[in-house]
């Protein structure tokens, strides 16, 4: 009686084409012959989303395919198999990943380097609509961002848990950054001029410390780009130069009850359009928004 | 149409209603003969090319020997032709390379493939050999479906796969069975080494 292993390679490939994610990797764990067969496959799983989570004791891959969600967990000792599976998933993905999520709270040595190698080994740049990363520094963001297709990437979410200082000088030079439309930075102390955010139409930054001079530059950005519809929310732990910022805004307007927060309206020359700055002082929250 | 009623017939088993269209005769490797309609044959790229190249007339079909398919047994070939007759005239699908492939298994096909794994693998092999794209699709999908939600150990049982240890042991046994003298030579060599001899000769 013939068995699966006695099937010619082209038939095994046909069968593998029907075995979805994650069963294809389970198949690779059954025996040596199928492991080497699965390792050599070039399958486009047409995933909708991919999440990669690395913690101190395990790694996991979560995928969404055909409206079904799957996940595979790897023990720390299975690091090689984890990267092999990741390579197989990423290398031949041709459709756009709606969401690509990477969480690496306890950095695995060489993780971003290996990710970069996998992404750069693809025949073309990976298409991603929304990139979300929980990471620690600019190098990690650059490693991933530089391997994604500019233009397709519209949303970037970067967060951390420990108020790391985040420089943005290198990442802001990437086309992927310049062509994205929506940015969210959460939990970092942003150590950069906020003008590096100027290419985004929607910005949300939660930073431990903000300097009043950065806010002035943001205001200038809104003043000098009247044709761009834009919104920007800055949340902060500490605003350095609070008084100077307040004075630089000019006289505020106060809404009638129930909203007591001050706001400032600026009109573009010869136009009914302009932008508004709202300062929710008690919530450490400043909002810029254009209106037309 | 039920699987049992599919119009593929062993020549020995029943009389075929005579229709105007041409029925080709095929013979399996265990000498079972089948009559298959021209339209059904079009599902198999291999057979279609073969009969086109032969250019048989209706007299040739009756008078010349049945076309031998030497790699496939009668039991498998009967399933193949039942499938072809049921799906005759249907468009042959084109593979767009996406994974997983979107293929539905119709009720007829599901019943046809309600068979043991050994015969199912023979059917897949035959579909590949005869280049019947959709039969290959549904049969491979059936095998792939068996993997759903299974652990590696369960998959080994389903697909009759050896574990790495069993595989190693089988290879060693096969090696020894192939060359029993090798083991004797090895034992003799070890014995001489124990006795302090430097040379085997």
User: What's the pLDDT tens digit per position in A112-141?
Assistant: 999 999 999 998 999 999 999 999 889 999
Q: Which of A159, A185, A211 is the last residue of a domain?
A: A185
Answer whether residue A84 shows pLDDT above 80: yes
Q: Are residues A139 and A214 in the same domain?
A: no
Look at residue B26 in the predicted model and tell me its pLDDT.
95
Q: How far is CA A66 from the centre of its chain?
A: 23
Query: Is the previous residue joined to B23 through a cis bond, with omega within 30 degrees of 0?
Result: no
Residue after which a domain boundary falls, among A169, A185, A201: A185
Mean pLDDT calculated for residue range B108-126: 94
In 3D space, the residue among A40, A30, A50 whose CA is nearest the CA of residue A10 turns out to be A40
**DSSP H or E run through A74:** strand A68-75
The count of CB pairs under 8 A between chains A and B is 103
B30: number of Cβ within 10 Å: 11
Is A129 contained in some domain? yes
Query: Which helix or strand (DSSP H or E) is residue A12 part of?
Result: helix A9-18
Q: Looking at the partner chain, which of A1, A26, A31 has a beta carbon nearest the beta carbon of B147?
A: A26
Q: Kindly state whether residues A48 and A181 are assigned to the same domain.
A: yes
| Number of helical H runs and strand E runs in chain A | 9, 14
pLDDT (average), residues A195-221? 89
Whether this model's ipTM surpasses 0.90 comes out as: no
| CB neighbourhood size of A281 (10 A) | 13
- Chain-chain contact of A46 with B99 (C-beta, under 8 angstroms): yes
Confirm whether A134 is domain-assigned. yes
Contact B159 A30 (CB under 8 A): yes
Please tell me whether residues A90 and A132 are part of one structural domain: yes
pTM of the prediction?
A: 0.72
Neighbours of B98 (CB within 10 A): 14
pLDDT band, residue B6 (cuts 50/70/90): very low
Whether residue A63 sits in one domain with residue A87? yes
- Chain A CB within 8 Å of residue B75 CB: no
Upper half-sphere CA count for residue A42 (Cβ side, 13 Å): 7
CB B37 within 8 A of CB B21: yes
The answer to whether position A24 is within a domain reads no
**A206 and A231 fall within a common domain:** yes
Residues A88 and A126 in one domain: yes
Model confidence at B126: pLDDT above 60: yes
Domain containing residue A276 = 193-292
Whether residues A169 and A65 share a domain: the answer is yes
Q: What is the DSSP string of chain B?
A: --TTTSS-EETTT-PPPP-SS-EEEEE-TT--EEEEEHHHHTT-HHHHHHHHHHT--HHHHHHSPPEE-TTS-HHHHHHHHHHHHHTTTPPPP-----SS------HHHHHHT-S-HHHHHHHHHHHHHTT-HHHHHHHHHHHHHTTTT--HHHHHHHHTPPPHHHHHHHHHHHHHHH-HHHHHHHHHHHHHHHTT-S---
The H or E element containing residue A38 is: helix A32-39
Sign of CA dihedral A137, A140, A144, A150: positive
Q: Are residues A153 and A200 in the same domain?
A: no
Give the closest-approach CA distance of A176 to chain B in angstroms: 27
Count of structural domains, chain A? 2
Is 50 exceeded by the pLDDT of residue B4?
no
Using CA atoms, how far residue A169 sits from A142, A190, A194, in Å, is: 11, 11, 11
Within 8 A of B169 by CB-CB distance, chain A residues are none
B 99-138 → A contacts, CB under 8 A: 99-101, 103, 116-118, 121-122, 124-125, 128, 136-137
Same domain, A198 and A181: no
Q: Which residues, including other chains, have CB under 8 Å from residue B94's CB and lie 6 or more apart?
A: none
A224 with A289, same domain? Answer: yes
> Across residues A95-100, what is the average pLDDT?
94
Q: Rounded to 10 degrees, what is the CA torsion of B9, B10, B12, B16?
A: 20
Q: Among B101, B118, B149, whose Cβ lies nearest the Cβ of A2?
A: B118
Higher pLDDT, B166 or B131: B131
Residue A30 domain-assigned? no
> What distance in Å separates residue B113's CA from the closest CA in chain A?
15
Domain end residue (candidates: A165, A185, A205): A185
Residue B15: burial class (beta carbons within 10 Å; 0-12, 13-18, 19+): exposed
CA distance A102 to chain B (A): 23
What domains can you pick out in chain B, each with its CATH number?
Answer: 9-145 (3.30.710.10)
Q: Are residues A141 and A252 in the same domain?
A: no
CB-based contact, B68 to chain A, within 8 Å: no
Average pLDDT over residues A73-100: 88
- Residue A195 — very low, low, confident or very high, per pLDDT cuts 50/70/90? confident
């Amino acid at each position: 009686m013939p068995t699966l292993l006695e099937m010619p390679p082209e038939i095994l490939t046909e069968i593998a084409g029907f075995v979805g994610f994650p069963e294809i990797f389970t198949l690779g764990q059954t025996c040596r012959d199928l492991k080497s067969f699965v390792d050599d496959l070039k399958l486009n799983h047409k995933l909708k989303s991919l999440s990669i989570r690395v913690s101190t004791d395990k790694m996991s891959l979560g995928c969404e395919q055909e409206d079904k969600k799957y996940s595979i967990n790897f023990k720390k000792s299975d690091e090689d198999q984890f990267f092999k599976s990741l390579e197989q998933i990423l290398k031949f993905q041709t459709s756009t990943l709606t969401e690509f999520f990477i969480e690496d709270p306890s950095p695995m040595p060489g993780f971003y380097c290996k990710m970069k190698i996998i992404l750069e080994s693809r025949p073309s740049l990976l298409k991603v609509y929304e990139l979300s990363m929980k990471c620690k520094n600019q190098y990690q963001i650059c490693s991933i961002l530089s391997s994604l297709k500019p233009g397709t990437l519209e949303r970037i979410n970067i967060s951390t848990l420990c108020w790391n200082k985040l420089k943005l000088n290198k990442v802001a030079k990437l086309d992927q950054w310049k062509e994205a439309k929506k940015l969210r930075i959460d939990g970092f102390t942003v150590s950069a001029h906020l003008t590096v955010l100027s290419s985004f139409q929607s910005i949300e930054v939660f930073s431990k410390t903000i300097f009043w001079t950065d806010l002035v530059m943001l205001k200038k950005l809104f003043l000098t780009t009247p044709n761009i519809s834009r919104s920007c929310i800055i949340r902060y732990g500490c605003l350095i130069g609070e008084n100077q910022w307040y004075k630089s805004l000019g006289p505020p307007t106060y809404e009638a009850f129930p909203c007591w927060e001050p706001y400032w309206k600026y009109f573009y020359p010869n136009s009914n359009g302009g932008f508004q700055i709202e300062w929710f002082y008690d919530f450490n929250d400043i909002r810029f928004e254009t209106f037309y | 149409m039920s699987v049992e009623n599919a119009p593929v017939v062993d020549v020995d088993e029943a009389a075929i209603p005579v229709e105007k269209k041409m029925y080709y005769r095929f013979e399996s490797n265990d000498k079972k003969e089948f009559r298959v309609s021209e339209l059904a044959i079009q599902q198999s790229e291999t057979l279609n090319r073969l009969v086109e190249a032969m250019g048989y007339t209706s007299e040739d079909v009756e008078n010349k020997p049945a076309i031998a398919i030497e790699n496939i047994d009668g039991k498998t070939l009967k399933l193949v032709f039942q499938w072809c007759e049921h799906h005759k005239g249907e468009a042959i699908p084109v593979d767009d390379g996406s994974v997983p492939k979107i293929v539905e298994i119709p009720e007829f096909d599901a019943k046809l493939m309600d068979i043991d794994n050994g015969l199912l693998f023979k059917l897949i092999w035959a579909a590949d050999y005869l280049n019947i794209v959709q039969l290959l699709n549904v049969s491979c999908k059936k095998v792939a479906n068996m993997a759903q939600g299974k652990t590696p150990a369960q998959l080994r049982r389903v697909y009759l796969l050896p574990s790495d240890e069993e595989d190693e042991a089988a290879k060693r046994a096969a090696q020894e069975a192939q060359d029993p003298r090798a083991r004797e030579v090895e034992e003799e060599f070890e014995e001489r080494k124990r006795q302090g001899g430097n040379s085997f000769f």
